[in-house]
Amino acid sequence: MKDKEIERLIKLEEKRQNGVINLIASENYVSRDVLMALGSVFTNKYSEGYPGKRYYGGNEIVDKVENLAKERALKLFGLSKNKWSVNVQPYSGSPANLAIYLALVPIGQKIMGMSLSMGGHLTHGHKVSATGKLWKWIHFGVSKKTELLDYYEIRRIARCEKPKMIVAGFTAYPRVIDFKKLRKICDEVGAIFMVDMSHFAGLVAGGAYPSPFPHADVVMTTTHKTLCGPRAAIIFSRKIKLHASSFMLHDLIDRAVFPGLQGGPHINQIAAIAVCLKEAATPAFKKYAKQVVKNAKVLAKELQKKGWRIVSGGTDSHLFLVDTWARGISGKTAQELLEAEKIIVNKNTIPFDTRSPFDPSGIRIGTAAVTTQGMKEKDMIKIAQKIDKILKSHGGH
């Protein structure tokens, strides 16, 4: 590179990434091919609109890229193009969620979702997010006793509030979601069922986590977590009409993404999405997804054996929460102690946390990135020993 300052920083970051044990549940390492597509000449091109309907000339190759990404997205999740549509233009998960709400729920009306403090996401209606300011959110959480989703309570709230949409999905809920039960609740109250599978999309693709597609109307996913692709998002929607209106869900979503919310799509990003979707369709990726979950289960179990309380008692996915405060170490302190020893995690609230989100009671641990590096169960046992030693030697009793 001619820009030596940035070149130096890229090399330093590469070295940092290679020199740590990365247990951030939402991160991963992409292939050279994904990086090449991201750094390709597609970054030079403007292509507002959709394939065949662009506002600029010179898009004949761009159209092929976007169509290929769409085809691969439907194929990866076994969806027929007669029943499902897909939009690959969202810049990332937050604008994708915003576009879905803008498309399908009139501003000011009710949406139900999991609260951030219980494991949801900022864009599931947190008050500091635009989503929380524009719609009236009814939040649900987990049962205090089991720390699992309480479907009886969700149904009770839904019947009472009659939301226009129910959003399922998490950033810090370790267990499987019963999509069938939530679908039933949506049908009972006339709500659209949307799933934000950003965290577990790669596991669904690899057959290591239940698929939301048989039950949901709309499914959003980012592509950079367990799916192992570029920072971006895609939205799947059923080709059905919105309630009694004559509008099709997918048309409303396409219009909300562009021109409603975004300008020109990032075609280099879409090319990289296409690459990761092809990689995720291989038998090697299936093996990977299963290993991610196996690793998370082993790591959680080993920490549990050493006396650390794991929220809900374990995990069915790529992530879990450790209640470090139960042994006198706050989440922030635990994160810092581990980082000093090159183990990267993030502090996280645990359900019914009594501490502040800036220094909560727990940490979140995920195994997608270390599994991409080839780690297996035996490595998880070693990591658990290391975490235990670091935290105990700094006062964890």
Contacting positions for ligand DSN (CB under 6 A): 26, 93, 121, 171
**Identity of the residue, 59 or 117, whose beta carbon is nearer to ligand DSN in the bound complex:** 117
Residues 122, 337: Cα–Cα separation, whole Å: 26
Please, what sign has the CA dihedral across residues 120, 125, 131, 136? positive
Q: Is 119 annotated as a binding residue?
A: no
**Identity of the residue, 79 or 111, whose beta carbon is nearer to ligand DSN in the bound complex:** 111
Shortest Å distance, C-beta 180 to ligand DSN: 25
Q: Is 357 annotated as a binding residue?
A: yes
Which residue, among 263, 238, 215, 200, has the nearest Cα to 56 in the 3D structure? Answer: 263
**Identity of the residue, 171 or 367, whose beta carbon is nearer to ligand DSN in the bound complex:** 171
**Identity of the residue, 26 or 315, whose beta carbon is nearer to ligand DSN in the bound complex:** 26
Residues 386, 397: Cα–Cα separation, whole Å: 15
Shortest Å distance, C-beta 245 to ligand DSN: 31
The tokens for 226 are: 């367990």
**Identity of the residue, 131 or 171, whose beta carbon is nearer to ligand DSN in the bound complex:** 171
Q: Is 356 annotated as a binding residue?
A: yes
Shortest Å distance, C-beta 220 to ligand DSN: 11
Phi (first) and psi of residue 256, to 5 degrees: -70, -35
Shortest Å distance, C-beta 190 to ligand DSN: 29
DSSP 350-373: -TT--S-TTS-SEEEEE-HHHHHT
Task: Estimate the crossing angle of helix 377-393 against helix 283-305, to 10 degrees.
Answer: 30
As annotated, the active-site residues are 46, 48, 196, 222, 225, 231
159 phi-psi bin (left φ>0, alpha ψ -120 to 50, beta other): alpha
Shortest Å distance, C-beta 122 to ligand DSN: 7
Bridge-based pairing state of the strands 136-140 and 110-114? parallel
**Identity of the residue, 62 or 220, whose beta carbon is nearer to ligand DSN in the bound complex:** 220
The tokens for 384 are: 């658990």
* Non-local CB neighbours of 96 within 8 Å, separated by 6+ positions: 90, 220, 222, 233, 234, 235, 257
Q: Is 249 annotated as a binding residue?
A: no
The tokens for 244 are: 């009694």
Shortest Å distance, C-beta 173 to ligand DSN: 11
Q: Is 358 annotated as a binding residue?
A: yes
The tokens for 76 are: 């990866």
The tokens for 34 are: 């994904």
Residues 324, 308: Cα–Cα separation, whole Å: 7
Q: Is 120 annotated as a binding residue?
A: yes
What three-state secondary structure class fits 269?
Answer: helix
Report the first-to-last Cα separation within the chain, whole angstroms. 50
Residue list, annotated binding site: 116, 120-122, 356-358
Residue list, annotated binding site for (6S)-5,6,7,8-tetrahydrofolate: 116, 120-122, 356-358
